[in-house]
Amino acid sequence: MLEVKNLSAGYGSSRVLFGISAKFAGTGGTAILGRNGAGKTTFLKAVMGELDASSGDILLAGKSLTLCNTVQRVDLGIGYVPQEHSIFAGLTVRENLLLGAMGKRGQKEIDTVVDFFPKLGDRLRQISGTLSGGERKMLAIGRALMGRPKILMLDEPTEGVWFGVIDEIGDRLERLSREIAVVIVEQHLEMALRLASNVLVIDRGQVSMSGTPEEVRNDPLFLKSIAV
């Protein structure tokens, strides 16, 4: 459903991604793994149009996104939870969620998010800056879900979160991946591999390995290729 073809991108004159190709089906989980600085965040940013690709193409349901800006890409169904969660600390949980609705109706989507993360339901009127770290991650994911994405891309959604909450987020994302495509950049290997039916390892801006969790686990170079 989402196809990335030979994507290269970088920052100014420094190139970070060198011809990445990948396909993401309509449902199921994909884990993107790789060392710090490998280019995982840059890849997601390029798919979102936060960064111009220097070459290559990104196709959603066969249509090129090259001329679409980030807002249009979200509107077309790509949800994104950035590594640096941009929650508005001074707004309530409900207000932050509504900002993710992209002008679509709000209450039905809020109900879906509350069903997804019941903890947020008790906190809709709370100022977001006073949420716990785990609750903030749930809000960031919930806000991306408000746009009713067809594919949800998450950049390290469990970074710095207590392991009980990691399990909770992992369970929910696993459930979600039966309905839509979920692409997750994740340091917690067990959670990522449990959720994923496909794994993509990025090394120095290139895909160095791909396959099912079993296939990559059995590759003797796997652990080395993701070690920090």
Ligand X SMILES: Nc1ncnc2c1ncn2[C@@H]1O[C@H](COP(=O)(O)OP(=O)(O)OP(=O)(O)O)[C@@H](O)[C@H]1O
Q: How far apart are CA 32 and CA 200, in angstroms?
A: 5
Residue 163 binds which entry of ligand X, Mg ion, none, CB below 5-8 Å type-dependent: none
Q: Are strands 53-60 and 2-11 parallel, antiparallel or unpaired?
A: antiparallel
Cβ-based nearer residue to ligand X, 45 or 123: 45
Contacting residues for 40 by C-beta, under 8 A, at least 6 apart: 32, 33, 34, 155, 185, 202
Among positions 22, 24, 29, 40, the unique one binding ligand X when judged by CB under 6 A:
40
Residue 42 binds which entry of Mg ion, ligand X, none, CB below 5-8 Å type-dependent: ligand X
**Residue 41 touching ligand X (CB under 6 A):** yes
- Which residues inside 71-90 make contact with ligand X, applying CB under 6 A? 83
Q: How far apart are CA 204 and CA 212, in angstroms?
A: 21
Residue 36 binds which entry of ligand X, Mg ion, none, CB below 5-8 Å type-dependent: ligand X
Cβ-based nearer residue to Mg ion, 31 or 110: 31
Cβ-based nearer residue to Mg ion, 103 or 160: 160
Contacting residues for 7 by C-beta, under 8 A, at least 6 apart: 17, 19, 20, 21, 43, 46, 47, 53, 55, 56, 57, 58
Among positions 13, 36, 84, 103, the unique one binding ligand X when judged by CB under 6 A:
36
**Sole window of 36-44, 58-66, 116-124, 175-183 interacting with ligand X (rule: CB under 6 A):** 36-44
As measured in angstroms, the least distance from the Cβ of 41 to ligand X is: 3
Residue 128 binds which entry of ligand X, Mg ion, none, CB below 5-8 Å type-dependent: none
**Residue 34 touching ligand X (CB under 6 A):** yes
Q: Is 18 exposed, middle or buried (0-12, 13-18, 19+ CB in 10 A)?
A: middle
Residue 188 binds which entry of ligand X, Mg ion, none, CB below 5-8 Å type-dependent: none
Tell me the one-letter amino acid at 210.
Answer: S
**Residue 37 touching ligand X (CB under 6 A):** yes
Q: Is 39 exposed, middle or buried (0-12, 13-18, 19+ CB in 10 A)?
A: buried
**Interacting residue ranges for ligand X, rule: CB under 6 A:** 11, 14, 16, 34, 36-42, 83
